[in-house]
Structure 1
Amino acid sequence: MASKLRLDKLLSESGFGTRKEVKYLIKKGTVTVNGEQIKDPGFKVDPEKEKIEVNGEPVIHIKDIYLILHKPAGYITSTKDKEATVMELISDVPRFEKLFPVGRLDKDTEGLLFITNDGELAHRLTHPKWKVPKRYYVVIEGKLSENSKNLLEKGVKLGDFISKPAKVKVIKVHENTSEIEIEITEGKYHQIKRMLKKVGNPVIYLKRISFGTLKLGKLPKGEYRFLNDEEVKKLKKAVGLLPASN
């Protein structure tokens, strides 16, 4: 059962604006609780039991949203852009405009993209301190030599930085291409592409298959799903937001 919340806090968390903006809405008389007009921003409400509306629109209180999207190629990982963004693929999620992608995938890269409105979790997942692993399925030109594999696993000099050691697994070798999996704990601009080009195996196709404790699994391309409570707990434990024993 939800505890009682201040009306302005509830509306802000539900996407109706900043605390200052929602206070204006309340004082303007646009908010009703169980059909009664409320003009006190500090009025306490229980969103699970009471009917709260703004200009006749029901308030859906979802403080924290966690979902993964199977990003297709052709979409920009951004909340706003002149080109199509990943947000268009989740536009039916309540208050989707309050969400943001954590980290990024290039326009032509596919795979797992974590999207949330939890700023603290997002910050930790992208902070170098926590070394959150990201695993990719990659199709490359040519065959990955043992020497190239060793270089990737030790760290490759890419001009402005030396990559941290990667984990590399060769899945299948074809006549002119190879399929590999590579795991890194960084997220520099075009990092996977730059690393593989440096060792002589340019990337043909790139898909992220896991991010931290999250796995893409069989989620269809272009679709999303919400995380369950256990997945959220594991993600938070991995970056110290919950005790490991919890």
Structure 2
Amino acid sequence: MCGRFAMDDLVNREITEFVTQTGRRPEEWAPDWESSFNIAPTESIPVLIDSAKTGDLRFERAHWSLVPPWSKTLKMKYPTFNARAEGITEKSTWRKPVQAHRAIILARGFYEWTGPRGSKTPWFMSNPDGSLMGFAGLYSWWPDPNKDADDPDRWTLTATIVTSDSVQTLADIHDRNPVILPEDMWLHWIDPTISGDQALVDEAVRAGVAQAETLRIDQVAPFKVGDNGPQLVRPIDT
């Protein structure tokens, strides 16, 4: 699973460079992500999506927990911040997003914990060179039924992270890991002209194995739910 991750404000420059190279940057482009080193489900997360309507790539903030448009509330009765890759198209919550609403969720790294309850050890996984990480994700626009149809605040972008069985190098820490896509697969994954199916998800999982196997694994100091700051991802002496 992936229940906590970090993203600093360097993503504003990095994603601008990536999108500019594609030639598909919209005229109004002003990424304004603020660093957060303890991002939890239901908080805002940075996502890259491909707009089928305009043909532009969009860097957006999304509510971390996918909420289908048919839901009456933004809070689901079951957790939707992760989506298991196995048999994903058999689940009604994920089926339509897989088809055409796929996203890249941007991160500097993610956390997992080991040990007994009450004295767990946190670990931070990141790319060895500190580069931007892109998780395979899904998104959905949720309309607030309590707001008028023409209210610009009616729609909330929501998203989830796709996970797979853990690679061997991470198995001692957790039995699941996010599907981490190489940068050269980002546009392929989010292309709305490609009708997503289980085969596409399986392709992403296979591509993500090599990425996950090379991750740097650092023990970091224990922290609380409300803590934040770059010190959270700083390795401690072991």
Whether these two folds match at TM > 0.5 is no
Larger of the two Rg values belongs to structure: 1
The alignment's TM-score, normalised by the length of structure 2, stands at 0.24
The alignment's TM-score, normalised by the length of structure 1, stands at 0.23
| Structure showing the higher strand proportion among its residues | 2
- Greater RCO, 1 or 2 (C-alpha within 8 Å, sep 6+): 2
